[in-house]
Structure 1
Amino acid sequence: MKILKTTLIALSLAVIPVSASVVNVNTIIENLVDAVISWKSETIDVGQIPQGTPKTIKFEFTNATAKPVLVTNVKAACGCTATDYSKEPIAPGKTGYVNAIYNAANAGAFTKSVTVTTSDSDAPKKLTFKGTVVAK
């Protein structure tokens, strides 16, 4: 019985540091996941727009990191879309934007995208917008 108690105490002491390190690793992972820019929406449906009237689609984001974030590159998937974006660094907790300006030249349904690269991540973010151009 004494051996069993000693073994249980030894196992308990061995498990405590392991469970403490698991909690620390989980906390670190949660902090890393939270510490990125947060997009208000990654896909926007603009509905119906008149043909020949350019439409500006605004994608907004919040800097949830602890340091300023800079939009380093924005690339439209096609020549029918121009882009504009926040040029200044976005301070922690502040918002920035990426605009896609769609020319709406051709009638019909469309789905387009812009790819955004920021200083907080090496992985670019693909933002999508869709809708229908209605002929005049």
Structure 2
Amino acid sequence: MKAFGTLLAVFFISFSMNSQEFKFEKESINYGKINKGSNGERVFVFTNIGDAPLIIKNIQSSCGCTVPEKPEKPIMPGEKGEIKVSYNTSIIGGFSKQITILSNAKMSRKLLKIRGYVEKKALLEKEKSMLLNN
């Protein structure tokens, strides 16, 4: 009888742990064309649409040039949460990166994407005229 009770308790715990869901306002952020050295921080906003606290266990990026920051506290049902992502804008050229979120949601693995193009800063008019006059 104890074994049946234990099995039943494990079943209910595992079911309740998987009743969380979250919905993102955007699952992809396009930086567009940005200047080298500009602010590379963006924020993904999501809502816990489940009926239990949502716990973000870990967040991984596809390279070291992208640094995600996870919420430290559980997100309660109906509440909004944020995942901050910083891209290293000192790297010139196009980029397309993935951020993998591991959580206690029904779908425990979720992918987010960022993309854009970092270009050299355009010369200021004063710098252009100085170059042309020399």
- Considering the TM-score relative to the shorter chain, is it more than 0.5? yes
Residue pair 1:57, 1:129 contacting (<8 A) in 2 also: no
Aligned to 2:55: 70
Q: Quote how far apart the aligned CAs of 1:121 are.
A: 3.2
- Provide structure 2 residue ranges, at least 5 long, that are not aligned to the other structure: 1-18, 122-134
Shift of 1:84: 0.9
Q: Deviations over 1:9-62 (max 9, x none)?
A: xxxxxxxxxxxxxxxxxxxxxxxxx96211111111111221123411211110
Identify the match of residue 105 of structure 2 among 101, 120, 128.
Answer: 120
- Determine if the alignment matches structure 1 residue 83 to structure 2 residue 68: yes
Percent sequence identity is 30
CA distance in 2, matches of 1:81, 1:40: 20
Aligned pairs for 1:1-136 within 5 A: 36-121=21-106, 123-136=108-121
Conservation of the 8 A alpha-carbon contact between 1:36 and 1:64: yes
- Once residues 103 and 39 of structure 2 are traced to their aligned partners in structure 1, the CA distance between those partners, rounded to angstroms, is 26
Query: Distance between the aligned counterparts of 2:110 and 2:42, measured in 1?
Result: 16
Tell me the matched-pair count. Answer: 103
Aligned 8 A contact 2:20 2:52 in 1: no
Unaligned runs of 5+ in 1: 1-33
Separation of aligned partners in 1, 2:39 and 2:96: 15
TM-score of the aligned structures, taking structure 1 as reference length: 0.70
Q: Does 47-56 or 89-98 show the bigger shift?
A: 47-56
- TM-score normalized by the length of structure 2: 0.71
Give the superposed CA RMSD.
1.7
Moved beyond 2 Å, runs of 4+: none
